[in-house]
């Protein structure tokens, strides 16, 4: 493991004004997204859609530091034969790869899941590195409901995240460590804070046990936020203040950066929360975005599977990327949302 090189990649992933595009939707998830815009989820359509994003020159060069790819996408070529990985590299962004293989029911823990995919991961990482991937992502899913999460679920998912991270660094790949506490329930922000604190503390304990170099990783957490079904939801300033306080209590300063997931927030909500956190300032690590739906919902709708709409799709993507790029510096303003990117 060359830690200096890993740190260099990690720092580039959280470069000021830039964030990570999560374009790693599984086949099932991208089908749901395409169903919503009446587009058939064929391999060609998935390729064309992602090519549209990766050829959005202004967005990719100015506001996107890296792209998380799905296994299908990392091997695909654009219509003109250029590997999609090359399009990302040509824009000055870093290709990455989702390496977990989804979730399974956790034995003895009703309603809880464990992420799988560690078997043969070392061999897969070598192939992904050869294909151009310089970082990877693994997502653990922690739900909040009556009686859960259990310590069992927190422990096994944190252990798997740490093993994955150690394998990545051995393969000279920067791991994005993503322990996601879901916002699907009716819990309040304080319950989310408490659960996320337990999850992050356990995750970093396991990372230390597995001898993961913190300087060569990126954390991708949820924010401290109310559940979607909560009767009253915390406002932007409360989310920002509590999330920053939470992270300062759990995340060592050696970690180069934190790239938030949007986790079901609306486009503008995810942007406003990130902006408010960066306005607090005096942070030991960079705070940026690693958004999927919050970057892609608008361009998907604008594109709607039509070649004539590629320009409109790219404009919508550029606008959302620019808004989040500003938020990563604490320079976003709500009235900018009314002006579309040129």
Q: Write out the catalytic residue numbers.
A: 178, 220
* Long-range pairs, 318-321, Cβ under 8 A, ≥24: 318/56, 318/58, 318/59, 318/63, 320/267, 320/271, 320/294, 320/295, 320/296, 321/19, 321/21, 321/56, 321/59, 321/62, 321/63, 321/64, 321/295
Structure token pair of residue 54 = 């990766």
Length of the chain counted residue by residue: 342
- At a CB cut-off of 8 Å and minimum separation 6, what does 212 contact? 162, 165, 166, 169, 175
Structure token pair of residue 98 = 């989702």
Cα separations in angstroms, 316 against 139, 260, 320, 341: 27, 21, 6, 8
Task: Tell me the β-bridge partners of 142.
Answer: 181
1: three-class secondary structure by DSSP: coil
Radius of gyration of the chain (CA): 19
| Separation CA 152–CA 194 (nearest Å) | 16
């Amino acid at each position: 493991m060359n830690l200096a090189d890993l740190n260099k990649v990690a720092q580039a992933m959280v470069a000021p004004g830039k964030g990570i595009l999560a374009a790693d939707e599984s086949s099932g998830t991208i089908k749901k997204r395409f169903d919503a815009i009446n587009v058939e989820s064929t391999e060609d359509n998935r390729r064309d859609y992602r090519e549209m994003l990766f050829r959005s020159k202004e967005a990719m060069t100015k506001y996107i530091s890296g792209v998380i790819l799905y296994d299908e996408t990392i091997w695909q070529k654009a219509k003109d034969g250029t590997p999609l990985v090359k399009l990302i590299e040509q824009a000055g962004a870093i290709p990455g790869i989702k390496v977990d293989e989804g979730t399974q029911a956790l034995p003895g823990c009703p309603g809880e899941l464990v992420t799988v995919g560690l078997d043969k991961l070392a061999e897969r990482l070598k192939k992904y590195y050869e294909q151009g991937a310089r970082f990877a992502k693994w997502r653990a899913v922690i739900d909040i409901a009556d009686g859960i999460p259990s310590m069992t679920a927190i422990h096994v998912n944190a252990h798997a995240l740490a093993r994955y991270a150690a394998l990545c660094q051995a393969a000279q790949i920067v791991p994005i460590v993503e322990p996601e506490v879901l916002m699907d329930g009716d819990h309040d922000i304080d319950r989310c804070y408490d659960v996320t604190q337990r999850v992050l503390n356990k995750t970093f304990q396991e990372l230390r046990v597995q001898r993961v170099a913190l300087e060569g990783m990126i954390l991708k957490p949820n924010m401290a936020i109310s559940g979607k079904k909560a009767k009253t939801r915390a406002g932007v300033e409360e989310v920002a203040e509590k999330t920053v306080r939470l992270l300062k209590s759990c995340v060592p300063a050696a970690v180069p950066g934190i790239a938030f997931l949007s986790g079901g927030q609306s486009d503008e909500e995810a942007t406003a929360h990130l902006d408010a956190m960066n306005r607090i300032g005096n942070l030991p690590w960079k705070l940026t975005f690693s958004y999927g739906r919050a970057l892609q919902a608008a361009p998907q709708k604008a594109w709607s599977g039509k070649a004539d709409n590629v320009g409109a799709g790219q404009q919508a993507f550029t606008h959302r990327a620019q808004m989040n790029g500003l938020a990563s510096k604490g320079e976003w303003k709500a009235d900018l949302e009314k002006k579309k990117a040129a």
